[in-house]
Structure 1
Amino acid sequence: MNPAADLGSLRTAGEVTSRIVAGIGADQWDAPTPCSEWNVRMLLNHVVAGNLLAAAVLGGVEFPAPEERARLGQVDRLGTDPLAATRQSVDDLVKAFEQPRVLEHVHPSPVGQVPGAALVHLRTTELLVHGWDLARATGQPADYPDALVEQELAFTKANVGRARTGPGGPFGASQPVAEDAPALDRLAALLGRSVASR
């Protein structure tokens, strides 16, 4: 692993996701998303909350129990400026990962204890897949660099089996997808999205 490159990937994923957020229309915040339990605003709130929680944990805050995480997930993190909130959450997350020795230590996460270097990939993948969700929900392209998506697809394929999938897990059960589909569609399908319809 190349820590500097991995943090660069996280930044890039955050920048593209922010561009998608900037393109959300005023009448689209209540629109449904591929995550059936969330509309557009709720989904983005989940992403921002996840970034902020990861940053806090990397800074030494105790990882909350599932019930507390569920409660915290209901707190509005977007305020009146969802784009600014998104960008700030990515900035906070990157800065947290840049702290000395953070990438070498093991940290708690929704999928269990993971090294900091692996947590970078988990958060990058979260931005990619939920960016795909937001783009699908609002009729926008999700223009993440192909090399970045292929990198995270390979990481996820190698590691997703270590986390629970399906009902109750952090990821949905993998869905069918064409082998020649775009890498982002293949990543989305691996993590439970139906990519057949556009």
Structure 2
Amino acid sequence: MNPVDDLAAVLDSTSALVAGVSHWDAPTPCPEWTVRELVNHLVLGHRLFTGVLRGEAGGSLDPRTADALGDDPVAAYREAVVRLLAAFRQPGVLERVVEVPAGRVPGIAAVHLRIVEELVHGWDLARATGQEPSFADDVAEREIGFSAAKLGDLPPERSPFAPPVPVAEDAPPLDRLVALLGRSPS
């Protein structure tokens, strides 16, 4: 499977979760973020990666310093998704080395970083809003492999994740992914 197609499918599932939000000020599994701040973080991240992939300046990832959602968070999220996918579909982008918050990576790694970010924060959003995420198990499985292989490459001071949490080996792939990245699926 093309990882950009995986990203598109994950973004589509998260779009449905964003569209289903009714309480934007609800708390999330990310202790310092409300639902609105979490979605804002995703939009800012999409904009940052879009800019990087297009060779432009990215912007702030701190949802407390920039409001990317305006009066229509669902539309803002969808617009950021369209632009991000267009940026990843540019010829040669997956082979190019780009500078992202995790460091200098090939474009193929950048797309996996966005997939993981979207899966984990999509899980956070689903938990916060009482929705059921509809991410494909095979995509989550691929990202478990990517994440497990790459976690050791991150310097401890740059790791955005908590230590892994124990989870049953037969747990659903999304639960195993979020546990690998420090969230408790129970």
TM-score strictly above 0.5: yes
The residue aligned with 2:130 is: 139
Q: 1:160 corresponds to which letter in structure 2?
A: L
Q: 2:141 corresponds to which letter in structure 1?
A: E
Matches within 5 A, 1:76-95: 76-95=67-86
What CA deviation, in whole Å up to 9, does each residue of 1:58-108 have, x standing for no partner?
1112456xxx554x7621111111111111111111111122221111111
* TM-score normalised by length of structure 1: 0.88
Asked if the contact 2:17–2:133 (Cα under 8 Å) also holds between the matched residues in 1, the reply is yes
1:184 aligns with 2:174: yes
Matches within 5 A, 1:43-62: 43-62=38-57
Cα distance in 1 for residues equivalent to 2:152 and 2:58: 22
What secondary structure, in the 3-state scheme, does the structure 1 residue paired with 2:103 have?
Answer: coil
The residue aligned with 1:160 is: 151
Asked if the contact 1:153–1:187 (Cα under 8 Å) also holds between the matched residues in 2, the reply is yes
1:113 aligns with 2:104: yes
Q: 1:179 corresponds to which letter in structure 2?
A: E
Query: CA, structure 1 residues 73+118, in 2 after alignment: closer, same or farther (shift >3 Å)?
Result: farther
Cα distance in 1 for residues equivalent to 2:61 and 2:30: 18
Cα distance in 2 for residues equivalent to 1:157 and 1:13: 19
Asked if the contact 1:173–1:190 (Cα under 8 Å) also holds between the matched residues in 2, the reply is yes
Q: 2:17 corresponds to which letter in structure 1?
A: I
How far does residue 128 in structure 1 lie from its aligned partner after superposition?
0.6
What secondary structure, in the 3-state scheme, does the structure 1 residue paired with 2:138 have?
Answer: helix
- Runs of 4+ off more than 3 Å: none
Asked if the contact 1:48–1:85 (Cα under 8 Å) also holds between the matched residues in 2, the reply is yes
Cα distance in 1 for residues equivalent to 2:4 and 2:140: 14
The residue aligned with 1:15 is: 12
Deviates more, 1:172-181 or 1:13-22: 172-181
1:34 aligns with 2:24: no
Q: 109, 114, 120: which one pairs with 1:123?
A: 114
> Any stretches of 5+ residues in structure 2 without a counterpart?
none
How far does residue 23 in structure 1 lie from its aligned partner after superposition?
1.0
Query: CA, structure 1 residues 169+159, in 2 after alignment: closer, same or farther (shift >3 Å)?
Result: closer
CA RMSD of aligned residues (A): 1.7
The residue aligned with 1:172 is: 162
How many percent of aligned residue pairs carry the same amino acid? 50
Query: CA, structure 1 residues 50+104, in 2 after alignment: closer, same or farther (shift >3 Å)?
Result: same
Q: How many residues align?
A: 186
Cα distance in 1 for residues equivalent to 2:79 and 2:128: 23
Query: CA, structure 1 residues 144+90, in 2 after alignment: closer, same or farther (shift >3 Å)?
Result: same
1:193 aligns with 2:183: yes
